[in-house]
C-alpha cells in the first residue's frame, strides 16, 4: 500500500515562496501521475497540478504563472513551489496519486499539511 507524506514550512510570509515536498513510500513512482491539491479552511478542493513520473506537468491555469511541480524519482519525492503567495493561498495542501492509467481520480492521498500565509 503506497503512502504519501507532505512536509514543509507551516508558515510562509506574503510575497514569498511556498515549498512543499511529498515523499512516496511503498510503491514505485513509475507509471503514475502525482498531484497537488489544496483545500482552504472550511472550503472545497482546488486542483493545483500534476506531474508524471516522466516529468510532464499540467497546471491549473489560474495558478500556472506562480507554480512549479517537479519530481525526483530516485528520492521518491515530488515537490510544489508556489511563489508570490498571499493570504488567499492559506490552505491545507495535499499530495495525491492518481489511479493507474488516469490523471483525474486520486486513490492515495497524504494526510495534508496546513500552510498559513501571514507576516
Label residue 76 exposed, middle or buried (CB < 10 Å: 0-12, 13-18, 19+).
middle
Among 10, 30, 41, 44, indicate the residue that binds other proteins (CB under 8 A): 44
The reply on whether position 103 binds other proteins by CB under 8 A is yes
Asked if 53 touches other proteins (CB under 8 A), the answer is no
Least distance to other proteins from the beta carbon of 94, Å? 6
Question: Dihedral through CA 66, CA 36, CA 59, CA 117, nearest 10?
Answer: -20
C-alpha cell at 90: 492559506
Choose which of 47, 52, 66, 76 interacts with other proteins (CB under 8 A). 47
Using alpha carbons only, what angle is made at residue 48 by residues 4 and 95, rounded to the nearest 5 degrees? 5
Asked if 34 is part of the footprint of other proteins (rule: CB under 8 A), the reply reads no
Q: Determine which residue in the list 34, 78, 93, 106 makes contact with other proteins, applying CB under 8 A.
A: 106
72 binds other proteins (CB under 8 A): no
Q: SS3 helix, strand, coil % of the chain, rounded to 5?
A: 5, 50, 45
Q: Between 16 and 63, name the residue whose CB sits nearer to other proteins.
A: 63
Contact between 110 and 23 (Cβ < 8 Å): no
25 forms part of the interface with other proteins (CB under 8 A): no
* 99 secondary structure, DSSP code: P
User: Which residues sit at the interface with other proteins, rule CB under 8 A?
Assistant: 35, 43-47, 49-50, 58, 60-62, 94, 99, 102-107, 109-112
Amino acid at each position: 500500500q503506497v503512502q504519501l507524506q507532505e512536509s514543509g514550512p507551516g508558515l510562509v510570509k506574503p510575497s514569498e515562496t511556498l515549498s512543499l515536498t511529498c515523499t512516496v513510500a511503498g510503491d514505485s513512482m513509475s507509471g503514475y501521475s502525482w498531484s497537488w491539491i489544496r483545500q482552504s479552511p472550511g472550503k472545497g478542493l482546488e486542483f493545483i497540478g500534476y506531474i508524471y513520473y516522466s516529468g510532464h506537468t499540467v497546471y491549473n491555469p489560474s495558478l500556472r504563472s506562480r507554480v512549479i511541480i517537479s519530481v525526483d524519482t530516485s528520492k521518491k519525492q515530488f515537490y510544489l513551489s508556489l511563489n508570490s503567495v498571499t493570504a488567499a493561498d492559506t490552505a491545507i495542501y495535499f499530495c495525491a496519486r492518481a489511479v493507474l492509467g488516469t490523471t483525474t481520480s486520486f486513490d492515495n492521498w497524504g494526510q495534508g499539511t496546513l500552510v498559513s500565509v501571514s507576516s
